Amino acid sequence: MTILCVRFQLPELYEAALPGLLGLLEEFTPVVEALPPDAALADLGGAERYFGRDAVELARLIRVRALAHHGVDCAIGAGPGPMLARMALGEAAPGEIRVVPDDPDAITEFLADRPVRALPGVGGATARTLCEYGLDSIGRLAAAPLSTVQRLVGARAGRELHEKAHGIDRGRVVPNAVTRSLATERTFRRDELDPDRHRRALLSATEELGARLRAVERVCGRLTLTVRYADRSATTRTRALAEPTAHSTALTAEAYRMYEALGLQRARVRAIALRAEDLGSAEHAAHQLTFDPVDERVRRIEEVADRARAKFGPRAVIRGSLAA
């Protein structure tokens, strides 16, 4: 089994071009999993036999077609499983194909010297715990007894990490997988005290999330706001929406309410992150009808703006308050 992990070089993580690029991958294999905003997994197990080409040759052909048909370059990682393909992609520069051979010795060599933080499933806290006990590389984690790893991070997590450190990848490519959430973050150049700049960052984030949701025909049912402060602490709030939506104005209004509820007084804010969760199909989403002509006019403008962005790029149409 050979898996490709392809990251397309889309402008500013804009997803409008992703469906067409997924269609390009589906010309080679029906087993394609979207990884919005700009990547995908493809299982070439049957494609290699059908086309009589190995994974590297197919990857080169995919890159050429992406350039020729869509004007988009890509970086590609290939490996015997999704985990190794993703890790290979992490080391591939734009336009480069990085391959992990399906050979135990080659897999061990690929993993051995990498920091344990590079292993999928190892977050900051887990990495610090492992490093405190000298397990700072994947090779050392693999050499440690399973019981030791389980005592440090827990029985289930320890077994999973120990298997991954040995190159055992139980992941599979799931065709047409549904994205569970979309997120974006705005980081300030310095610790920001001005509430107006906080609100402007929220406006920029909701505009991006709304455009990304509409590009993939999804709606969100819940928003999560995270405010990070100068002392590295953070406040997180989650709120369910009155109705699932991808309407930027509705998302902005809800984000503003969540921000105001925090009651920040002279808070030194370093970053603001916003996540759209509980995603569902826009086709099946219910919308409360309204007689407000302003709302209807804003939604029509939004549709026109989306078409302009899809053709000319994500900054073709932006709000005046964000133009600077």
The DSSP annotation for 250-291 comes to HHHHHHHHHHHHH--SS--EEEEEEEEES-EEGGG-------
Q: What is the pTM of this model?
A: 0.60
Instruction: Between 124 and 225, name the one with better pLDDT.
Output: 225
Overall size of the chain counted in residues: 324
Q: Positive or negative CA dihedral for 287, 242, 306, 296? A: positive
Tokens of 6: 């392809």
Contact 225, 255 (CB under 8 A): yes
16-30 pLDDT, tens digit each:
566 778 888 999 999
Q: What is the pLDDT of residue 115?
A: 92
pLDDT of 12 over the 50 cut: no
Non-local (6+) Cβ contacts of 197 within 8 A are 188
Q: Which of 70-74, 83-87, 162-166, 301-305 has the lowest mean pLDDT?
A: 301-305
**Token digits for 241?**
């929406």
Joined tokens for residue 62: 């995919």
Q: 226: closest CA among 190, 180, 277?
A: 277
Q: Where are the beta strands (DSSP E) in 209-267?
A: 218-229, 234-245
Following DSSP, what letter does each residue of 39-58 receive, concatenated?
Answer: EEEEE-TTHHHHHT--HHHH
For all residues of the chain together, what is the average pLDDT?
Answer: 85
DSSP-based three-state secondary structure for 75: strand
Please report the pLDDT score of residue 285 as a whole number: 67
pLDDT in tens, 64-110: 999 998 888 999 999 999 999 999 998 898 899 999 998 999 999 99
pLDDT at position 258: 92
- Collapsing DSSP to helix, strand or coil, 207 comes out as helix
Cα–Cα distances (Å) from 7 to 1, 32, 36, in that order, read: 20, 13, 10
| Intra-chain end-to-end CA distance of the chain, in Å | 49
**Identity of the residue numbered 251:** L
Is there a contact between 4 and 78 (Cβ–Cβ < 8 Å)? Answer: yes
Task: Name the pLDDT band for 289 (thresholds 50, 70, 90).
Answer: low
